[in-house]
């Protein structure tokens, strides 16, 4: 996969708590043209489109978006990998380019978030829609709904098998918040927190405190993945060096293991394809719906031994100018989680950093970045290795 394609165009909208009537389709269109411009391309240059399932457009999403934007594409698809969707789009785009089916693939993510009127039921999980999957039959009757309880059960199992302290988990949120304070687009920009703040925040689902949990928001993010011949047009390129993906379950109850995860084979493949070592990684952009997700991913992606995540966090400075820069945009814990654009934020940040466009939080001497996308309850895993050189 190394040398197949580069990410040139990047566009991302600052998350908002709510959208006021704007449709997801309109959000996708405006972020899409911004990414195309950032890639140094014209609308006619784009011949591939990747998007994701979204509310309000029950089917035929790619053609709906393509028509709205005025695209004529020779490759299109919808990627349905939850939080791993953004990462999953990048290697699919590269594979399509390598297969000769496209030369410039626009990858779009967005989420709207409408304010509820008083008295309106709060939607939680997928519980209020008609769902005939096993989830509706064997999870909802027991209240296993939404991500909080799923990740909390992973955390409690992890803490049964291994040792990590609440302070170590909290440090992840604290250092990422420090990173967010160098990112004006982060929702929690300017709001530094301490370990005590995290541990004093309300317990939502034991052992997860409120400040260890992402805040949902509205937003949009887009990338343009291009053929090597087009990589010079933008004046900035992040090369895809390797990718790996693994999906083993939907509901965590049925995962082969709660602590030996699909992250590992995905990351192993990505590093093997890239031909780089973990030690060469200058930025880790790890999906962080919860602090426990980061802790487990540090181990499973191979940055430390299994069970050593807590000690690893203790030993390293996770800030953009630290010795192990992690989620330099603040992570979703501090950037907020605008739906699929939340997972994409780990990709956009890694791309910007590799392109040298990290601004105040630019990681010095960065050659290689690692991205992990994670969907559902650690059910969809997609790893990417990005580099400055092909």
Partner 1 sequence: MSSRPRPVPSPTTQPFWDATAQQVLLFQRCTACGHAQSYPRPTCTACAATSLDWEPASGAATLHTFTVARRATHPAFDGTEPYVVAIVELAEGPRVTGNVVGCDVDDVRVGMPLELVWDDAGEDGLRLPLWAPA
CA 200 to chain centroid: 27
Binding mask 206-225 vs partner 1 (x if CB under 8 A, - otherwise)?
xxx-----------------
Q: Which stretch binds partner 1 (CB under 8 A): 20-28, 126-134, 183-191, 366-374?
A: 126-134
Query: 294: alpha, beta or left, given left = phi > 0 and alpha = psi -120 to 50?
Result: alpha
Decide if residue 149 touches partner 1 (CB under 8 A): yes
- Tokens representing 332 are 């979703």
Parallel, antiparallel or unpaired: strands 104-111 and 48-51:
parallel
- Tokens representing 253 are 């109850």
Between CA 132 and CA 122 the distance in angstroms is 21
SS3 332: helix
160, 190, 229, 365: which one contacts partner 1 (CB under 8 A)? 160
Q: Which stretch binds partner 1 (CB under 8 A): 9-17, 167-175, 221-229, 248-256?
A: 248-256
CB neighbour list of residue 257: distance below 8 Å, 6 or more residues apart: none
Counts of helices then strands in the chain (DSSP H, E): 12, 11
Binding mask 251-290 vs partner 1 (x if CB under 8 A, - otherwise)?
xxxx---x--------------------------------
**In whole angstroms, how far apart are CA 329 and each of 105, 106, 182, 227, 267?**
24, 22, 8, 27, 21
SS3 212: helix
Decide if residue 154 touches partner 1 (CB under 8 A): yes
Residue with smaller CB distance to partner 1, 35 or 164: 164
CB of 268 to partner 1, least distance (A): 24
Q: Which stretch binds partner 1 (CB under 8 A): 12-20, 111-119, 157-165, 286-294?
A: 157-165
203, 235, 272, 305: which one contacts partner 1 (CB under 8 A)? 203
55, 143, 275, 356: which one contacts partner 1 (CB under 8 A)? 143
CB of 246 to partner 1, least distance (A): 16
- Spatial contact of 384 and 368, defined as CB atoms under 8 Å apart: no
- Spatial contact of 249 and 275, defined as CB atoms under 8 Å apart: no
Q: Would you list the DSSP string of 50-61?
A: EE--BTTB-S-H
The residues with which 27 forms a beta bridge, in sequence order, are none
Number of residues that bind partner 1 (CB under 8 A): 41
Peptide bond into 195 cis (omega under 30): no
Reference 238, options 115, 371, 140; nearest CA is 371
Decide if residue 121 touches partner 1 (CB under 8 A): yes
CB of 169 to partner 1, least distance (A): 15
Residue with smaller CB distance to partner 1, 149 or 281: 149
190, 202, 323, 365: which one contacts partner 1 (CB under 8 A)? 202
Residue with smaller CB distance to partner 1, 207 or 228: 207
Q: Euclidean distance between the first and final Cα of the chain, in Å? A: 10
Decide if residue 72 touches partner 1 (CB under 8 A): no
16, 37, 195, 204: which one contacts partner 1 (CB under 8 A)? 204
170, 198, 205, 326: which one contacts partner 1 (CB under 8 A)? 205
Residue with smaller CB distance to partner 1, 209 or 346: 209
**In whole angstroms, how far apart are CA 149 and each of 61, 68, 235, 275?**
31, 38, 45, 37
Q: Which stretch binds partner 1 (CB under 8 A): 128-136, 169-177, 225-233, 300-308?
A: 128-136
Between CA 181 and CA 301 the distance in angstroms is 27
Q: Which stretch binds partner 1 (CB under 8 A): 108-116, 143-151, 214-222, 341-349?
A: 143-151
Q: Which stretch binds partner 1 (CB under 8 A): 32-40, 76-84, 245-253, 269-277?
A: 245-253
Decide if residue 157 touches partner 1 (CB under 8 A): yes
Decide if residue 120 touches partner 1 (CB under 8 A): no
Q: CB-based burial of residue 88 (10 Å sphere; 0-12 exposed, 13-18 middle, 19+ buried)? A: buried
Decide if residue 201 touches partner 1 (CB under 8 A): no
Write out the residues near partner 1 by the rule CB under 8 A: 121-122, 124-125, 127-128, 132, 134, 136-146, 148-149, 152-157, 159-160, 202-208, 251-254, 258
């Amino acid at each position: 996969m190394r040398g197949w394609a580069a990410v040139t165009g990047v566009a991302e909208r600052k998350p908002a708590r709510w959208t006021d009537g704007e449709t997801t389709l309109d959000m996708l269109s405006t972020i899409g043209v911004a990414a195309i411009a950032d890639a140094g391309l014209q609308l006619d240059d784009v011949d591939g489109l990747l998007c994701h399932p979204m509310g309000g457009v029950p089917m035929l999403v790619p053609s709906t978006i393509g028509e709205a934007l005025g695209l004529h594409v020779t490759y299109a698809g919808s990627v349905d990998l939850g939080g791993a969707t953004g990462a999953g789009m990048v290697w699919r785009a590269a594979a399509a380019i390598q297969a000769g089916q496209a030369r410039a693939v626009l990858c779009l993510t967005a989420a709207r978030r409408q304010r509820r009127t008083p008295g309106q039921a709060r939607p939680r999980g997928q519980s209020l829609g008609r769902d005939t999957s096993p989830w509706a039959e064997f999870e909802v009757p027991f209240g296993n709904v939404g991500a909080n309880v799923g990740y909390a059960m992973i955390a409690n199992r992890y803490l049964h098998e291994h040792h990590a302290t609440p302070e170590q988990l909290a440090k992840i949120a604290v250092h990422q918040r420090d990173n967010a304070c160098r990112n004006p687009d982060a929702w929690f920009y300017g709001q530094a927190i301490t370990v005590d703040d995290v541990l004093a925040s309300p317990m939502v689902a034991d052992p997860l405190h409120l400040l260890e949990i992402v805040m949902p928001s509205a937003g949009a993010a887009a990338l343009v993945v291009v053929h090597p011949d087009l990589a010079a047009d933008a004046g900035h390129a992040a090369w895809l060096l390797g990718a790996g993906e693994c999906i083993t379950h939907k509901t965590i109850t049925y995962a082969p293991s709660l602590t030996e995860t699909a992250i590992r084979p995905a990351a192993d493949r990505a590093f093997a394809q890239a031909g780089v070592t973990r030690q060469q990684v200058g930025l880790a952009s790890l999906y962080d719906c919860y602090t426990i997700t980061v802790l487990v991913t540090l181990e499973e992606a191979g940055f430390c031994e299994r069970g050593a995540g807590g000690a690893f966090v203790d030993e390293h400075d996770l800030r953009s100018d630290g010795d192990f820069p992690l989620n330099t945009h603040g992570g979703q814990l501090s950037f907020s989680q605008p739906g699929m654009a939340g997972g994409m934020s780990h990709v956009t940040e890694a791309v910007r950093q590799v392109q040298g466009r990290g601004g105040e939080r630019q990681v010095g001497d960065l050659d290689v970045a690692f991205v992990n996308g994670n969907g559902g309850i650690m059910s969809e895993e997609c790893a990417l290795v990005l580099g400055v050189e092909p």
